[in-house]
């Protein structure tokens, strides 16, 4: 075991012992934390604002209690952290933000994805033709790559 590994494991043990990390967040709980529109807007605003969340209360028409309740839930699920009176995305929050962005692109292309589904059932279209159709239908390279990887 390297000294850096021992250090990291020691840090994790220390955090666990303080009771801050009894278990990893559950997927359902993380998704529930961003499931309502205002919580999702708060999460996205923190992601885009570099910690400047001063105007969120008035912009979203939230009471202080609603604001802090939603921020606490996002923090409790490991998506946000508060430092110097400002909120920032954690590493898990950054991952979720990217996944959510990809989902947003997929939803923007919903009907194109439905068309791809119709090409897949029943199977019969040669893989080369299917790949060509997907490449033609979708403009987003990340979405194309994701779909083409899952087809193989």
pTM of the predicted model as reported, rounded to 2 decimal places: 0.74
**CB atoms near residue 128 (< 10 Å):** 8
CB atoms under 10 Å from CB of 36, counted, come to 12
What whole-number distance in Å separates Cα of residue 116 and Cα of residue 65? 45
Closest residue by Cα to residue 100 from 35, 51, 53:
35
* CATH code given to domain 24-92: 1.10.10.10
Q: Give the start-to-end residue ranges of the domains of the chain.
A: 24-92, 109-151
Give the pLDDT confidence score for residue 1 in this predicted structure.
Answer: 56
pLDDT value of position 80: 95
Residue 97 confidence (pLDDT): 96
- pLDDT score for 5: 52
Closest by CA position to 39, among listed 3, 18, 5, 68:
68
Please report the pLDDT score of residue 8 as a whole number. Answer: 54
pLDDT at residue number 29: 95
Q: What tens-digit pLDDT sequence spans the chain (152 residues)? A: 555 554 555 445 445 444 445 689 999 999 999 999 999 999 998 998 866 666 677 777 888 899 899 999 999 999 999 988 888 999 999 999 999 999 999 999 999 999 988 888 777 778 888 889 899 999 999 999 998 887 76
């Amino acid at each position: 075991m390297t000294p850096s590994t021992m250090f990291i494991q020691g840090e994790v043990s220390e955090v666990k012992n303080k009771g801050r990390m009894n278990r990893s967040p559950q997927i359902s709980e993380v998704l529930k934390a961003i499931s309502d529109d205002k919580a999702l807007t708060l999460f996205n605003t923190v992601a885009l604002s570099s910690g400047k969340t001063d105007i969120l209360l008035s912009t979203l028409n939230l009471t202080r209690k609603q604001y802090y309740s939603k921020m606490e839930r996002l923090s409790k699920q490991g998506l946000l952290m508060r430092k110097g009176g400002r909120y920032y995305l954690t590493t898990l929050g950054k991952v979720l933000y990217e996944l959510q962005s990809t989902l947003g692109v997929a939803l923007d292309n919903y009907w194109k994805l439905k068309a791809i589904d119709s090409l897949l059932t029943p199977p019969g279209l040669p893989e080369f033709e299917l790949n060509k159709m997907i490449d033609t239908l979708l403009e987003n390279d990340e979405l194309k790559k994701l779909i083409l990887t899952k087809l193989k």
